[in-house]
Amino acid sequence: MYLIDKEKNMISKISEKTFTELGFKERENLQEWLDKNPEALGEELLIIQKEFCGFKDTLERLDLLALDKDGNLVIIENKLDDTGKDVTWQALKYASYCSTLKTEEIKSIYQEYLNKKKSNEKAEDKLLEFFEVADYEELSLNKGQTQRVMLVAANFRKEVTSTVLWLLNYNLRLQCFKVTPYQLEEKLFLDLEQIIPMKDAEEYIISMAEKTQHDITSQEGEKLRYTIRKEFWAKLLKQMNSQSTLFQNINPTKDFWISTGIGFGGITFAFVISKRYARSEIYIGKAEAEENKAIFDELKKHKEDIEKAFGTELEWERLDTKKSCRIKAEKKDVNIYNKDDWPNMMDFMIESMINLEKVFKEPLKKIKESLK
């Protein structure tokens, strides 16, 4: 690796080092870096445990346990300057141990991790946020034989790379990351590169593996939930369309939400249902976060007048850590999967949606005109 000096039009070599030379340790340093910055491994990962030893009949510990965006468990094994010759076998053992973990067990493992960090956050809430779902029942984690293994080290022995390349032919999800420290004077740098499979070929290899995998139990559960939601939306839309034209061009779907535009790009009116609530909302989801926050703030200036016209208080969610914003009317303690709740849910959602459209029509119109 070289440093470019634009003024002198030359390059200077940055010295490659070993972790041992720099005094870094596997557990105290490399493991902590990845725990705090899992995105360094090239994707969004949720670390759910560190030094995990919750395996039956063995005291073995895996370095890091994570979830990917598809709900697969990811076993991350770290080595410093050399993998050793047994790391592949070690990681595969951990993957086999983890293969039996159920969603509830994974939630408990994650809660223990949060508790150890002295966090007041709830694992269920964090999981819902990471997977962007409304209901905990929507989560289906660690389905079938979907466990993944990531090996991280400065150098990989031939025994390891040969074994990994062979296992890839059997649709096992393994990746090797070469991690290299560099030093320039007092500054230290870290390079982390995926070497197996090569990044350009990874998508193809994964897609071929996923093609042969399915989980019948999960599919049947999803099919039932989809059927119930679609039936609910059909009934709600029929009732809504008899009182308003706002959703007249919207069809029932299997999703937990349906929305309609209002002629103001990025601003939608939406119905949302779950096992815990039913709500009507205005969703502000334009491309730029700054624009969403500005629109939200402008609307909130008129909060008192809007809520007076609406007839009750609304929930104003600026969502500062996210790009979008939301203003909602929500009915709690109702369950989309309990049909006895449907009449109350529909009455509340339709009435609140009609009122939302009425009280926000003029404020949104003025904001839209001011942006032209």
Q: Averaged over 75-102, what is the pLDDT?
A: 91
State yes or no: pLDDT of 371 exceeds 50. yes
Q: Which of 173, 209, 179 is nearest to 194 (CA)?
A: 179
Q: Averaged over 7-29, what is the pLDDT?
A: 93
Residue 202's pLDDT is 59
Query: Which pLDDT band holds residue 203 (cuts at 50, 70, 90)?
Result: low
Residue 107's pLDDT is 96
| Long-range contact pairs involving 329-334 (C-beta distance under 8 Å, separation at least 24) | 329/279, 329/280, 329/281, 329/355, 329/356, 330/277, 330/278, 330/279, 331/277, 331/278, 331/279, 332/276, 332/277, 333/276, 333/277, 334/276, 334/277, 334/278
Report d(CA 268, CA 253) in Å as an integer: 17
Q: How would CATH label the architecture of 2-214?
A: 3-Layer(aba) Sandwich (3.40)
Tokens of 304: 């008192």
Q: Where are the domains of the chain?
A: 2-214, 217-371
113, 49 Cβ separation under 8 angstroms? yes
Whole-prediction pTM: 0.56
Peptide bond into 343 cis (omega under 30): no
Give how far Cα 136 sits from Cα of 25, 48, 65, 229, 254, Å. 38, 17, 20, 16, 17
State yes or no: pLDDT of 55 exceeds 90. no
Is 245 strand, coil or helix? coil
Query: Which pLDDT band holds residue 119 (cuts at 50, 70, 90)?
Result: confident
Residue 225's pLDDT is 87
State yes or no: pLDDT of 31 exceeds 50. yes
Residue 220's pLDDT is 62
Q: Which of 333, 311, 326 is nearest to 257 (CA)?
A: 326
Q: What is the pLDDT of residues 332-362, one digit of tens each?
A: 999 999 999 999 999 999 999 999 999 999 9
More confident residue, 58 or 313: 313
Residue 171's pLDDT is 76
Q: Which of 172, 128, 133 is nearest to 151 (CA)?
A: 172
Q: What is the pLDDT of residues 205-256, one digit of tens each?
A: 556 555 544 454 456 666 788 899 999 999 999 999 999 999 999 999 999 9
Q: Averaged over 66-90, what is the pLDDT?
A: 92
Tokens of 291: 């624009």
Candidate from 161-170, 238-247, 252-261 with smallest mean pLDDT? 161-170
Residue 204's pLDDT is 56
State yes or no: pLDDT of 83 exceeds 90. no
